[in-house]
A and B are shown apart, each in its own frame.
Chain A
Amino acid sequence: MKRFLVKRITYSVLSLFLLSAIIFFFVRVTGDPAVLLVEPGASQADIDAIREQLGLNRSLGVQYVTFMSDLLRGDFGKSFYYRSPVLDLYLSRLPNSFLLAGVAMLFSLVVGIPSGILAAVRLNGWWDRVGKIFALLGQSLPSFWVGLLLILFFSVHLGWLPSSGSGTIWHVLMPAVALGWVFAAYNMRLTRSSMLEVLGSEYVKLARLKGLPEALVIAKHAFKNALIPVLTLAGINLVIMVNVAIVVETVFAWPGVGRLAYEGIAFRDFPVVQATVVLGGAMIVVVNLLVDILYAVIDPRIRYER
């Protein structure tokens, strides 16, 4: 087990190191942020002064060494645009992202699991067909478009919900639906296939042969076992939601890390982009690591195989 842990942790650290190096060099390929911070026609002296202020006049090697040594100390640098520590900015937005992701996750489970069960139980029936259409739409309608439709209908037309911003539970509903929509479709599909697998298993057949009522077979024997992969994925999806909500947060002016990433990209704010990518990557790597360790604890075959 100890060897397994050392190996997995080493892989995780290596992944994060590679991620940080890739994002450091990739953002610098995208262009010079100094030219975006001045008006076209600004003098070369002004552009040079901004480069100096931002430390971009130093060689790439020096910038990289500084970036890595700061990173090891947990210092992500100062935002070019906001001129404040990036970590402070990130941490101030993170609770909003978790709130949004949490509500979106709840929505995706509440919608995805029952519809998946119904589709599996009523295989090839009306519910199954509706479920398939829902899954297709969920995975094909872009979240920004869903978001704009929600705003038009619930804010502008009906006047029920605030169109943007944060502060109350009403503010989080529409962005959570726009974000959770695609995950609800994934959950529906996963629940359906998992239920179908469980419903075809020997112990379910035995339960039916014993004469247990169908509702009890589904609720007690099939549902509980079918839920395991859905809930395992839900944990990982929560972290993914925190990090992929860029478009939804931008449409709803939701102050999360996704919008921070959008601002970082728009303004070539290198420290912000680096921090959002590295910290987002760290979240995913850590969650995957924990899942791997838990699997290894539960199933000893895994730690010996790897």
Chain B
Amino acid sequence: MRGPRLFATVAVALLLAAAPVAAAPEGQLTWAVHVSLAPTWFDPAETPGVITPFMLIYALHDALVKPMPGNGMAPSLAESWTASRDGLAYQFALRKGVTFHNGDPVTAEDVKFSFERYKGAGSATLKARVAGVDVLDAGRVRFRLKQPWPDFMTFYGTPATGAAWIVPKKYVEKVGDDGFKKAPVGAGPYRFVSFKPGVELVLEAHEAYWRKTPGVKRLVFKAVPDESTRLAMLKRGEADIAYSIRGALAGELRKTPGLTLKPSLPTFTEWVTFADQWDPKSPWHDRRVRLAANLAIDRQAINDADYLGFGKVSANIVPRDFAFYWPAPAYPHDPAKARTLLAEAGYPKGFDAGDISSDNVYVPEAIANYLQAVGIRVKLRPLERAAFYAADQEKRLRGLVRQGSAAAGNAATRIEAFVLSTGIRAYGGYPDIDGLFREQATEVDPKRREATLHRIQQLMHERVMFMPVVEPAFLNGVGPRVADSGIGAITGHPYSSPYEDLSLKAR
């Protein structure tokens, strides 16, 4: 008996030794963050429709479905999901054995609760279209829609909203909304440790995270508003990752030994709108004039100067990473042809084009100079941010208006806001484009929907509705201790993520 028992013991020991054991998280990563960290960002129910809060939400929380490396809608807390044939129901099967940081299991009740308490961006749109959420059992949940809505997953499964990010029902009910913001509990790879509003946030690895054990033990986010200071922190090793280092400082960062310039490309596009194109008395009413303006500007030079060439020159206001994006033909930099077009349009000596209004001066100043060079005499009118947005939204601006958006979504959501005659930031529209948009809004066949949305983008291009300029890059610095910063790992996400994948170099 002794022989077999010894053999079994040795065999078990060898098996245990050979089994892949997750390494314990080690070390600390420190970020110098360009914005003040707000406790509302700890609660996915209050995401305001900007990408910034997802910098922290990706660490603290987890979603049924979320963008991950290589997959814009990756199954996460949901193992899988199905849409009914009629497009009226979406059913999610939850991953088994997943727990929140306090040990409570993630259940279908939490999913329903999180959806119902969601009051952030897009909540009105979502709730107007969702008839109800049914808990089928602890591991399955079904969303019923009032009518087919092809964009349900765009709103639910991407950062367009925070509705799919799950919070623990029992805990939230116990501590209340304010209590939750003071001590958030989630199902993400990192748990909350401490927070000094506007100063510093400390998180620690949640070792039982379902996807993998995080590689780094402690994450520290420090709010540092001045970018020169962020760069100094990086150089001194006080920070491992510094967000948003632009222009000349980015150039200096690139030259500094040991530091790495790490760009990411958020789904952000910057363009100029011809606000007067619907006014027959305006020179901008003439398509040739709008085309001349597009040919006058050197997009690559702007990209090189402002984003060190890491941005993408653009011919469409829809970002290239959006679903249903149509790659519009690029506009060459051709000032001679621009002058010819202006002459054909009756402006051989150019014309006084009024203002180019903007809430920043970097790109618009370059555009104004290029336009001046071909005879389109524009005056840069920088406006304070809130004043600009108010005037733009109320459509009080004339001439040229610099616009841009990093709102998550797809081609349809971008077109809805900026192209339709009813768009919140559109200065006019075209009935045929409005009609095509209505057509695609209820089209459940993705191929036919894509064709319609491509047609709309072709019409936008043919009519030269906009002067798309660039998809800006978000430039960041990474210090010498970091092996994997996670910057740029998820398409369209500008910050480090997924946090569980981050790692430090071995000492």
The interface of chain A, by Cβ under 8 A from chain B, is: 30-33, 35-47, 49-50, 53, 81-84, 89, 92, 148, 151-152, 155-156, 159, 162-166, 250-253, 255, 259-260, 262-263, 267-268
For A49, the closest partner residue in chain B by CB is: B124
Beyond A40-B404, A81-B38, A82-B39, 18 extra complex contacts between A and B, CB < 8 Å: A31-B386, A39-B50, A39-B405, A41-B413, A41-B418, A42-B121, A43-B125, A49-B124, A53-B119, A92-B197, A151-B228, A162-B236, A163-B229, A164-B229, A253-B222, A255-B198, A259-B225, A267-B36
Question: Within 8 Å of chain A (Cβ to Cβ): is B434?
Answer: no
7 of the cross-chain contacts (CB-CB < 8 Å) are A35-B393, A42-B407, A43-B125, A43-B424, A49-B123, A82-B39, A253-B222
For B423, the closest partner residue in chain A by CB is: A41
Closest beta carbon of chain B to A259's beta carbon, Å: 7
CA A92 – CA B403 in complex, angstroms?
38
Closest beta carbon of chain A to B235's beta carbon, Å: 5
CA A255 – CA B36 in complex, angstroms?
11
Closest beta carbon of chain A to B256's beta carbon, Å: 10
Question: Within 8 Å of chain A (Cβ to Cβ): is B417?
Answer: yes
> What chain A residues lie within 8 Å of B480 (beta carbons)?
none
Q: How large is the interface on B (under 10, 10 to 19, 20 to 34, 35 or more residues)?
A: 35 or more
Query: With A35-B389, A38-B121, A40-B403 given, is the CB distance from A151 to B225 under 8 Å?
Result: no
CB <8 Å contact, A151 and B197 = no
Question: Within 8 Å of chain A (Cβ to Cβ): is B395?
Answer: no
For B124, the closest partner residue in chain A by CB is: A45
> What chain A residues lie within 8 Å of B181 (beta carbons)?
83-84
> What chain A residues lie within 8 Å of B393 (beta carbons)?
35, 47
> What chain A residues lie within 8 Å of B224 (beta carbons)?
164, 253
CB <8 Å contact, B405 and A38 = no
Query: With A35-B389, A36-B386, A82-B38 given, is the CB distance from A163 to B238 under 8 Å?
Result: yes
CB <8 Å contact, A251 and B226 = yes
CB <8 Å contact, B407 and A39 = yes
CB <8 Å contact, A40 and B425 = yes
Contact of B39 among A39, A84, A255, A262 (CB under 8 A): A84
CA A42 – CA B228 in complex, angstroms?
32
Closest beta carbon of chain B to A153's beta carbon, Å: 11
CA A82 – CA B38 in complex, angstroms?
5
Question: Within 8 Å of chain A (Cβ to Cβ): is B105?
Answer: no
Question: Within 8 Å of chain A (Cβ to Cβ): is B387?
Answer: yes
> What chain B residues lie within 8 Å of A260 (beta carbons)?
198
Contact of A162 among B121, B223, B238 (CB under 8 A): B238
> What chain A residues lie within 8 Å of B417 (beta carbons)?
41-43
Query: With A40-B404, A43-B424 given, is the CB distance from A151 to B229 under 8 Å?
Result: yes
> What chain A residues lie within 8 Å of B46 (beta carbons)?
83
Query: With A31-B386, A82-B197, A82-B198 given, is the CB distance from A43 to B122 under 8 Å?
Result: yes
For B417, the closest partner residue in chain A by CB is: A41
CA A3 – CA B455 in complex, angstroms?
81
> What chain A residues lie within 8 Å of B51 (beta carbons)?
39
> What chain A residues lie within 8 Å of B407 (beta carbons)?
39-42
CB <8 Å contact, B222 and A165 = yes
Give the 7 A-B CB pairs with smallest separation, nearest first: A31-B386, A41-B417, A45-B124, A39-B407, A35-B389, A163-B232, A41-B405
> What chain B residues lie within 8 Å of A41 (beta carbons)?
405, 407, 413-414, 417-418, 424-425
Question: Within 8 Å of chain A (Cβ to Cβ): is B406?
Answer: yes
For B404, the closest partner residue in chain A by CB is: A40
CB <8 Å contact, B49 and A38 = yes
Best-buried of A42, A44, A251, A255 by chain B (most CB within 10 Å): A42
Question: Within 8 Å of chain A (Cβ to Cβ): is B440?
Answer: no
CB <8 Å contact, B196 and A45 = no
CB <8 Å contact, A45 and B405 = no
Question: Within 8 Å of chain A (Cβ to Cβ): is B350?
Answer: no
B358-411 at interface with A (beta carbon < 8 Å): 384-387, 389-390, 392-393, 403-408
For A165, the closest partner residue in chain B by CB is: B222
